[in-house]
Chain A
């Protein structure tokens, strides 16, 4: 710890407004972002992820708490004194400058000699594959190209941390997927720490080294994509990342007792109190009526191509979704109204906080 931490956010509080009307956009948030990692702040709109990014950039000052960059306190530094650059959601390219002038802007403001600025600008334009567009006006570029200019402009001064505020949200799906790969490549090639804000879980899962899931001004869980998907800490995280089935019941020793009277094996569970477990739809196995942990009735089958979604209901009416791989014939071998047995693999059942 310590030396390999790029950004350390410690007990940061950000309130907008005064007194009783104040809204806490961030409520005592602490997180460490490691050097050279692709770190994603993921959450629904209004969860505080953009506020946290703006605090790191210096556009907002925290109401309380400390932000460290490489161990040095930057909490009260203005944005132009922080070795941190931002890629804005709207790109915010300078309309009166050419592509090359946009990229050179930060370097010129840092007072670098013209020859060095020119060399670095060329290098950056080559990095984002826009070398042939150097003398175009930014308004002559497509959305994807403008995105690249914004990236090159923010990377040019070689910031210690690059902040990206939902940079892909304005692009169409195809371009977005291409840019995801592009971003990951740039991050690997430059070795710069990326802090990426998004509300898109797929974006977060595919690009990030680690993800912080946020809601209501708090970080709910920090971990790798696999960590968060397989071991969601609470109901919010399980719900936000991927699809989830929640089952609630009484905890017994090594098992969960449902309201239907049936039980599911939960390894290591201690008896006592009401608990909730989460099971991913693709982890469920369906079999014959008497061959399984739970009995259920098939209500609806929806064919999605690669897989088929099977909507089931338990005997007490609880709804459950199973995602089954579609066989080559396209027939899942199930019929609506059929009774089936649901089987759980031990590792697929995760206890979560409510």
Chain B
């Protein structure tokens, strides 16, 4: 590059951001602004009828972990919050694992079909997306409730003598989330497997690897970016899920999303709600940072 060209390149790089002003404004108003309000609210006092009182307080944050015992006037562990947090993480991880276990063979199946059929299979996978989430969740309700399709079938076949009580349990929430988020796992996995060079299988087979070793030593490492992308896409919305635990958990088996909703609604504790929202955000950000780190590593190596 000549010095003149270099200077002009530097100038255009320096002035380039001017063109992104519209995007920066949108980002500022739509993302950073509300986030700052949430951050501000989490450090204020709760008002008696909702809203906030303009006085600095760290109660919102401390209430995540400790709660005041109204009888002894001492602070004790907020068991309810912790169990909800734990349930959220546990169910989200389980959902991610299960969608992977189901989604990987599905994606492999689709990616190994002839090109004309692939589009049809992908279309079928995405159809549920076009239906409202609430309706899809009620569909699961219809399957697993006490008089639902599953129990009727099991009773008729004589496998159980009385209906299984699945509704309003962790199992119900987990089943619902697995169903709802499965396509988010299948699509990135499909994209990764579609790029996978099937000739590597023959190379592995030729070099004395058995089927299991080919899966573990060749396929999984090569499609890892797809696995991580799918896991993030499932884990993040699972963690903040609201509708599914609300309908299938019946308001008793709460997850983080429901707890936050509760604080802004009946709980009338906006600072706590704001602090919980930010906690959720931190967990999600950590997961994304991990993804970026792994993805960059792949790029450097690949």
Q: A residues bordering B, Cβ < 8 Å?
A: 57-59, 78-80, 84-86, 88, 90, 92-96, 105-106, 109-110, 137, 139, 153-154, 157
Q: Contacts A92-B200, A95-B302, A139-B302 given; indicate if A57 touches B222 (C-beta within 8 A).
A: no
User: Nearest-CB distance from B221 to chain A (Å)?
Assistant: 4
CB<8 Å pairs between A and B, sample of 19: A59-B202, A79-B202, A79-B206, A84-B206, A85-B206, A92-B199, A93-B203, A94-B203, A94-B204, A94-B222, A95-B200, A105-B207, A105-B209, A109-B207, A109-B213, A110-B208, A137-B301, A139-B302, A154-B206
B200: nearest residue on chain A (CB-CB)? A92
User: Nearest-CB distance from A52 to chain B (Å)?
Assistant: 16
Q: Are A92 and B203 in contact (CB under 8 A)?
A: yes
Given the complex of chains A and B, what is the CA–CA distance between A88 and B205 in angstroms?
13
Among candidates A58, A90, A153, residue contacting B207 with C-beta atoms closer than 8 Å = A153
Given the complex of chains A and B, what is the CA–CA distance between A71 and B197 in angstroms?
35
A139: nearest residue on chain B (CB-CB)? B302
- Which residues of the other chain, A, contact B158 by a CB distance below 8 angstroms? none
B211: nearest residue on chain A (CB-CB)? A80
- Which residues of the other chain, B, contact A86 by a CB distance below 8 angstroms? 202-203, 206
User: Nearest-CB distance from A91 to chain B (Å)?
Assistant: 9
Given the complex of chains A and B, what is the CA–CA distance between A139 and B302 in angstroms?
7
Q: Are B205 and A78 in contact (CB under 8 A)?
A: yes
Judge whether B52 is part of the interface by a CB distance below 8 angstroms: no
User: Nearest-CB distance from A159 to chain B (Å)?
Assistant: 9
User: Nearest-CB distance from A242 to chain B (Å)?
Assistant: 34
Q: Are B301 and A106 in contact (CB under 8 A)?
A: no
Among candidates B197, B210, B302, residue contacting A92 with C-beta atoms closer than 8 Å = B197
User: Nearest-CB distance from A50 to chain B (Å)?
Assistant: 12
Q: How many residues of B contact A (CB 8 A)?
A: 20
Q: Are A95 and B222 in contact (CB under 8 A)?
A: yes
Judge whether B143 is part of the interface by a CB distance below 8 angstroms: no
Interface string of B59-100 (1 = CB under 8 A from A): 000000000000000000000000000000000000000000
User: Nearest-CB distance from B227 to chain A (Å)?
Assistant: 13
- Which residues of the other chain, B, contact A84 by a CB distance below 8 angstroms? 206
Q: Contacts A109-B213, A137-B301, A137-B302 given; indicate if A96 touches B206 (C-beta within 8 A).
A: no
Given the complex of chains A and B, what is the CA–CA distance between A58 and B222 in angstroms?
24
User: Nearest-CB distance from A55 to chain B (Å)?
Assistant: 13
- Which residues of the other chain, B, contact A78 by a CB distance below 8 angstroms? 205
Q: Are A96 and B207 in contact (CB under 8 A)?
A: no
Interface string of B201-235 (1 = CB under 8 A from A): 01111111110010001100110100000000000
User: Nearest-CB distance from B244 to chain A (Å)?
Assistant: 36
User: Nearest-CB distance from B216 to chain A (Å)?
Assistant: 11
Q: Are B202 and A92 in contact (CB under 8 A)?
A: yes
Given the complex of chains A and B, what is the CA–CA distance between A154 and B218 in angstroms?
17
Q: Are B199 and A106 in contact (CB under 8 A)?
A: no
User: Nearest-CB distance from B285 to chain A (Å)?
Assistant: 27
Given the complex of chains A and B, what is the CA–CA distance between A95 and B224 in angstroms?
12
Q: A79-B206, A80-B207 are in contact. List 9 more A-B contacts (CB 8 A).
A: A78-B205, A80-B210, A88-B203, A92-B197, A92-B200, A94-B218, A95-B197, A96-B221, A96-B302
- Which residues of the other chain, B, contact A110 by a CB distance below 8 angstroms? 208
Given the complex of chains A and B, what is the CA–CA distance between A153 and B301 in angstroms?
20
A80: nearest residue on chain B (CB-CB)? B208
A97: nearest residue on chain B (CB-CB)? B221
Q: Are B202 and A80 in contact (CB under 8 A)?
A: no
B205: nearest residue on chain A (CB-CB)? A79
- Which residues of the other chain, B, contact A94 by a CB distance below 8 angstroms? 200, 203-204, 218, 222
- Which residues of the other chain, B, contact A154 by a CB distance below 8 angstroms? 206-207
User: Nearest-CB distance from B196 to chain A (Å)?
Assistant: 10
User: Nearest-CB distance from A136 to chain B (Å)?
Assistant: 10
B213: nearest residue on chain A (CB-CB)? A109
User: Nearest-CB distance from B208 to chain A (Å)?
Assistant: 4
- Which residues of the other chain, B, contact A95 by a CB distance below 8 angstroms? 197, 200, 222, 302
Q: Contacts A79-B202, A88-B203 given; indicate if A96 touches B208 (C-beta within 8 A).
A: no
Within 8 A of A (CB), among B14-71: none
User: Nearest-CB distance from B228 to chain A (Å)?
Assistant: 14
Interface string of B173-211 (1 = CB under 8 A from A): 000000000000000000000000101101111111110
Interface string of B268-302 (1 = CB under 8 A from A): 00000000000000000000000000000000011
Given the complex of chains A and B, what is the CA–CA distance between A109 and B209 in angstroms?
6
User: Nearest-CB distance from A19 to chain B (Å)?
Assistant: 21
- Which residues of the other chain, A, contact B202 by a CB distance below 8 angstroms? 59, 79, 86, 88, 92
